[in-house]
Amino acid sequence: MSQCSRTALLVGSNMSDLPSTMLAWTKVRNEPDGFELIEHPVPNPGPNEILVKTTSTSICGTDLHIWHWDEWSKQEVPLGTITGHETCGTIVGLGSNVTSHKLGQLVSIECHLADWTCQRCKEGNAHICENGSIFGVHTNGAFAPYFTIQATNARTTPEGLEPGYGSIQDPLGNAIHTLTGGPIEGSTIAIHGLGPIGLFAVNAAKALGAKMIIAIDWENEYRMDLAKKLGADMVLGKSHDIIAEILSATEGRGVDNSCEFSGSTAALSNAIHSTRMGGYLNVLSVYGNPNPPVPMNDLVFRYLHLKGINGRKMWSTWDIMEDLLSRNEIDIETIVTHRINWKDFQDAMRLSKNGQCGKIILDFP
């Protein structure tokens, strides 16, 4: 044990009550799935870290990439990593330098780890820190009953929020960050792709005063029904001429703000052709095809603002989100369709893969 962790043990007064080992879902094999529930020591917080007892960790599309073990995952995730990055829990240990947080606090995690010293961090873009990494992707994360993280990355869970719902702030924050790349209040908005993040975006756009929300998926009727329930004004799918329908709903102009959450290059092209002249196109998606065909001339002549979106702004996105959550504006119960015991991780991954779900939360009872 290092000197740092000894100090942490002294500071975290109830840490002696904690187990010394835990089981955690770990990516152990160089193959699809390749996860095992194996024993690890309960980690000790470094001087600027906290130790958190996990309340819930939700399943993200990124976790599915890691489960499939695609090229991106092979490059990014060291074998032996405990993955899982959308999480929340209770602080049960404090590093020796931590004065910003208290034992017993409920916290929700921002997974983008930043150095807070580079130019990007100093200009307010810590989510794209030049020396950044992602908790639960590059480092051990939260498909485990305990984890450590820099105290800076732990936000107090909004009061009144059911503690297990704290973990949805990562994808809800992605949705809000994407929407805020363009106008929202009084604006027409198209949401392409109704996975969990697209569904959160439908809900958040409504809560933030959008004039009209057009929600588009391809053939996932389950998610299209959820979008209707969340108040989308129009829901489109593969049986529609998507561009023509959006143009006709907006007096031939196109929407003010298109958000792309599908990862489909067809949807990207649809979005370019159905955003109004001078409008905004915000892309959160990661494309399976790393060189997607983009109708560039339409983008140019339509004078579109095209923005790539990554993570959440630290901390303006979180502030907007906390305001919405504290006013009970987000219908989490509709978007979280499944809550599963964390030991049944493999069932949750299979469900996530088949897509007959909204957000899936793993609970750590």
Ligand X SMILES: NC(=O)c1ccc[n+]([C@@H]2O[C@H](COP(=O)([O-])OP(=O)(O)OC[C@H]3O[C@@H](n4cnc5c(N)ncnc54)[C@H](O)[C@@H]3O)[C@@H](O)[C@H]2O)c1
Q: Which of 65, 112, 177, 273 is catalytic?
A: 65
Question: Count of residues for the chain?
Answer: 365
Of 30-38, 56-64, 153-161, 333-341, the window that binds Zn ion (rule: CB under 5 A) is 56-64
Closest residue to ligand X in the complex (CB): 195
* Strand duo 188-192 + 255-260: pairing: parallel
Query: Of 8 and 114, which CB lies nearer to Zn ion in the complex structure?
Result: 114
| Min dist. Cβ of residue 119 to ligand X (A) | 20
Is the distance from CB of 196 to CB of 334 less than 8 angstroms? no
Total residues binding Zn ion (CB under 5 A): 7
Per-residue b/e over 291-302, b at no fewer than 16 CB within 10 Å? eeeeeeeebeeb
> Which of residues 118, 128, 234, 247 is near Zn ion by CB under 5 A?
118
**CA–CA separation, 286 and 320 (whole Å):** 24
Closest to ligand X by CB, 63 or 322: 63
For residue 14, with 0-12 CB atoms within 10 Å meaning exposed, 13-18 middle and 19 or more buried, which class applies?
exposed
The distance of closest approach from Cβ of residue 93 to ligand X in the complex, given in angstroms and rounded to an integer, is 29
Task: Give the list of residues 6+ apart from residue 4 with CB closer than 8 angstroms, or none.
Answer: 44, 46, 47, 95, 96
Asked if residues 163 and 106 have their Cβ atoms less than 8 Å apart, the reply is yes
Q: Which does 129 bind (CB under 5 to 8 A by kind): ligand X, Zn ion, none?
A: Zn ion
Q: Give the pair of three-digit tokens for residue 211.
A: 């004039």
Interface pick for Zn ion out of 59, 77, 121, 249 (rule CB under 5 A): 121
Residue choice 33, 76, 115, 245 for contact with Zn ion (CB under 5 A): 115
Q: Select which of 55, 57, 62, 157 is catalytic.
A: 62
Start-to-end Cα distance in the chain:
29
117 is catalytic: no
**Catalytic-residue membership of 65:** yes
192 binds, among ligand X, Zn ion, none (CB under 5 to 8 A by kind): ligand X
Q: Locate 42 and state its tokens.
A: 């309960």
Which of residues 140 and 275 has its CB atom nearest to Zn ion in the complex? 140
Per CB under 5 A, 213 contacts Zn ion = no
Q: How many CB atoms lie within 10 A of CB 56?
A: 25
Maximum Cα–Cα distance across the chain: 67
Place of tokens 């198209």: 190
**What angle (nearest 5°) sits at the alpha carbon of residue 152, between those of residues 149 and 154?**
65
Q: What is the separation of C-alpha 110 from the centre of its chain, rounded to a whole number of angstroms?
A: 9
Residue 264 CB, shortest distance to ligand X, in Å, is: 4
Show contacts with Zn ion in window 247-306 (CB under 5 A): none
Token pair 């000894």: residue: 6
Of 276 and 313, CB closest to Zn ion: 313
Which of 223, 302 has the CB closer to ligand X? Answer: 223
**Using CB under 6 A as the criterion, which residues of the chain lie in contact with ligand X when the complex forms?**
61, 174, 192-198, 216-218, 220, 223, 261-264, 266-267, 284-286, 309-311, 355
**60-79 residues near Zn ion, rule: CB under 5 A:** 60, 62
Angle among Cα 179, 182, 183 to the nearest 5 degrees reads: 95
**362 binds Zn ion, rule: CB under 5 A:** no
44 binds, among ligand X, Zn ion, none (CB under 5 to 8 A by kind): none
Query: At closest approach, how far in Å is the CB of 48 from ligand X?
Result: 24
* Cα separation, 114 vs 128, whole angstroms: 8
CB of 235 to ligand X, least distance (A): 11
In the complex with Zn ion, the residue whose CB is nearer, 199 or 272, is 199
For the CB of residue 300, give the shortest distance to Zn ion in the complex, in Å: 32
Which tokens go with 1?
């044990």
- Measured CA to CA, the distance from residue 96 to residue 345 in angstroms comes to 34
The binding site for Zn ion (CB under 5 A) comprises 60, 62, 114-115, 118, 121, 129
Catalytic positions: 62, 65
